[in-house]
Amino acid sequence: MKYLALSLISTLFVSGGFARPSRLANREAARRLRGSRPFSGSPYVVVSSTTNGTDSQIESKTSAVKSSGTTLHDEYSTNWAGVVIESPPTGQNFTTVSGTFVVPKPIGSNGSASAWVGIDGDTASQSILQAGVDFTISGGKVSYESWYEWYPNYAYDFSNFAISAGNTITITIQSTSSKAGIVTLSNKSTGKSVSKSLTAPSSSTALKGQNAEWIVEDYEQNGSLVPFANFGTVTFTNASASTSKKTVAPSSGIKVNIVQNKKLLTSTSFTTNSVTVKHT
């Protein structure tokens, strides 16, 4: 799920991109209509903010940087919010990324979002090994789906893995080589776990191990983004990314927030072992 960057920064926001119906076969068919697009987009700058993150506070990067002379920090995207680590320690590659979160209950009438953990997808833009949970509200009814994907292959659902609001889910992504990996979801509330061994779709989509992510996404389906659900807050705890030699904290990464139609829709923060994304 490669993210669509709108781009870098803020001075006052100082800090600092994908296929899913009720039966499994139908959901997998729907996933094939869900596309991924490469990193691209227009640069934006948040020059100030209101409590709901709206309207004229978001300007083009060119005019804002000229007027403020600010240093570039955070990134802004149309569909990713969370933290991205853009490079591991020199001479090393990320091999494992993990995080634990409590499944939110979205509010409102209609919308969807997805919380996931992954390797690559940013500077290593040809591939992503990832897994996560979708949370959807439709007509006031909430549903959940868990899934895995090696982009640019389709995403597929895990079957027989029940998820409810308030469950504690741990996601672990592990690359056993550049062309093979294992994704695991564990529901700490039910004691159930699922895992899947995956291989790279092609030699050109082998993992680089350059990036690690903890993301809440407004995913794309049928060529456009789905209505973004008000999920409240998602916090990835015990968040870490590891190489063969070292564990790297999310606080070494870059915060990403979602901007759509010049509205800031999320607020991201991190500590040494957690990533929090709030719907604004």
Question: pLDDT by residue (tens digit) across 222-275?
Answer: 778 899 999 999 999 999 999 999 999 999 999 999 999 889 999 999 999 999
Residue 82 above 90 pLDDT? yes
Catalytic residues: 217
- Alpha-carbon distance 261 to 58, whole Å? 9
Q: Under 8 Å CB-to-CB from 50, ≥6 apart: which residues?
A: 57
pLDDT in tens, 15-72: 333 333 323 344 444 444 444 433 333 344 444 444 343 333 555 544 443 333 433 3
Structure tokens at 55: 């309207």
- Alpha-carbon distance 265 to 46, whole Å? 12
Selected residue with higher pLDDT from 33 and 147:
147
pLDDT of residue 142: 97
- Alpha-carbon distance 57 to 11, whole Å? 12
pLDDT of residue 43: 42
- Alpha-carbon distance 264 to 280, whole Å? 7
CATH number at residue 114: 2.60.120.700
Domain that holds residue 133: 5-279
Q: What is the mean pLDDT of residues 190-203?
A: 97
Question: Which residue, chain included where needed, has tokens 């040494």?
Answer: 272
> How many Cβ atoms are within 10 Å of 274's Cβ, its own excluded?
20
Q: What is the mean pLDDT of residues 204-213?
A: 96
pLDDT of residue 74: 80
The answer, as to whether pTM is greater than 0.85, is no
Number of domains in the chain: 1
Pairing of strands 75-77, 254-260: parallel
pLDDT in tens, 106-134: 999 899 999 999 999 988 989 999 999 99
Residue 13 above 50 pLDDT? no
